[in-house]
Amino acid sequence: MYKFWCVFIPRFFLLYFIVAIAIGYYFYPGGNHLDSSQVGYDFTRNFLSELGFYKTLSNETNFISSFFFNTAMFFNILVGIGFLFMPHLFNESKYAYIFAWVGAILMFFSCLFFALVGLSPGDIFFKAHIFFVQVAFNLVFLAYLFICLAFYFSQISKKYMIGSIILFIISIIYAFHIGDQPVIDAIEQKELFQSTFTMKDLMLNAINQKLVIISMNISLLMFTYGFDNFIKRRGL
Amino acid sequence: MYNFFTVTILRFVPIYFVISCLVAAYFYPGGNLLDPQQVGYSFNHNFLSDLGGYTSRSGEINFLSQFFFNLSMFLFVAVGIGFLFVPMLFKDNKINFYSAIIGSFFFFIGTVFFAGVGLTPHDLYRSEHIFFAINAFRILMPAGLIYVFVFFRSSVPNFYAYLTLAFFIFTTSYVLYQLFGGSPFDSIDALKQHVTIQKFIAFASTINIFVLSFGFKTRIKYLSIA
């Protein structure tokens, strides 16, 4: 049970997420926030959320790409449920157990909001999409912090925290970078968006977003190895 | 592992399918094959596939409805994968084992076709959608028949064999109805008839898969594997 929810489910999610992004990338028709004539998906010019758009910024039908991206986001619910089983692994130490519970609850809600990102494509539910993205990211950083503390106070190797430490460094840089940037709907306020952002800004944001996502996923993967170690050690 | 693939998955996917259809029906904007003015989803005027349309029959954005419906169809792949584990539950008898392999192969292909239905909304990929929808049921016919044979020969209670036999009869009848039952475009009554029969067969298949998981559970206990 613990192995299924704390190890198998997050790893299945990561695998599905990578495959879904690859399929979404392949089928994405084209367009980005500043250039609607772009052909296909460009990792340096498109945000991941664009894979989930109902219609692309080139105004084309985006069914296959959005289906795989949005289902991958929706599967975050499973990861969130899985994390509710995690605190039991840390019950050897009082502090680790408390931090694990705080981390698990934050992670559950974060995953719920990530799932809602998949249910609110940015082109048709812009405000809801931005709200869910912001809350999800804020919660996940806090959750990872508490899970790191749980690992720190547990009797297990601290190496499983490496992924999270990388994530925190990248996230802080990213937060400083986007902190003073305005939130503009690239579809409804197209002209304002194009006069506010240059292609260089767009590329920097798109690349940074992907770095944060990659480090989040590495961090999640490393946690699963930590959980697996606990489960084996304690024969759960 | 066997418990997960042949019991848990076979229970989870049908439950998720039913819930998804209800959620999708709630979010469906409106319109049917003959009347684009209809408001919302009507269980006796709309096909299940209408829920998966990229736009509704009334021409409106149908994002939430198609997301839930198409995902639930796509998840039938997991049922197909689950069926690939089922033959191992009948490994104590050679004939049952090899028959189950053939039956599971057909089940797997049939469920892949169901997933294909979810990946081809009727308004974007019409010919592919019809191909997957029609042939999924045709492929499930031999699958059902072979499993009737396996269940009658094994220690699984005969209830499961009779249930699968009923499923086989329903599926065959539906395939014949698709071939000779006329067109839903003919009249509103013809549409209602097609729609009602489609729902009956779809939910009968779903119930069959769900109940079979209990039969497979008895085999897991019998063979003492998990």
pLDDT of residue B195: 93
Considering just the CA atoms, what is the radius of gyration of chain B in Å? 18
pLDDT of residue A1: 84
- Alpha carbon distance A162, A74 (integer Å): 27
How does residue A13 score in pLDDT terms, banded at 50, 70 and 90? very high
- From first CA to last CA, the distance across chain A in angstroms is 8
Write phi, then psi, for A129 (nearest 5 degrees): -60, -50
**Contact with chain B for residue A15, Cβ under 8 A:** no
Number of domains in chain B: 1
Contact A63 B71 (CB under 8 A): no
**pLDDT tens digits for B22-78?**
999 999 999 998 999 999 999 999 999 999 999 999 999 999 999 999 999 999 999
pLDDT of residue A202: 87
Contact indicator for A123, A69 with CB cutoff of 8 Å: no
For the entire predicted model, the pTM comes to 0.91
- Distances in Å between the Cα of B142 and the Cα atoms of A45, B110, B183 are 50, 10, 26
* Domain membership of residue B87 as a residue range: 2-223
Beta partners for A32?
none
| ipTM associated with this complex | 0.89
pLDDT of residue B46: 95
| Residues of chain A with C-beta less than 8 angstroms from the C-beta of B64 | 119
pLDDT of residue A184: 84
Handedness of CA A199, A209, A25, A53 (dihedral sign): negative
Average pLDDT, chain A: 89
| Residues of chain A with C-beta less than 8 angstroms from the C-beta of B124 | 61, 63
pLDDT of residue B225: 67
A147-156, B39-48, B137-146: least confident range: A147-156
**pLDDT tens digits for A45-55?**
999 999 999 99
Between these two residues, A168 and A94, which has the higher pLDDT value? A94
Interface test with A, best of B26, B51, B54 (most A CBs within 10 A): B54
Distance of CA B77 to the CA centre of its chain: 11
**Residue at B189: amino acid letter:** D
pLDDT of residue B1: 83
**pLDDT tens digits for B164-220?**
899 889 988 988 888 887 888 888 888 999 999 999 999 888 998 999 899 888 888
pLDDT of residue B226: 57
- Alpha carbon distance A178, B138 (integer Å): 55
Interface test with B, best of A51, A54, A60 (most B CBs within 10 A): A54
Nearest CB among B63, B70, B119 relative to A54 is that of B63
Contact indicator for B86, B104 with CB cutoff of 8 Å: yes
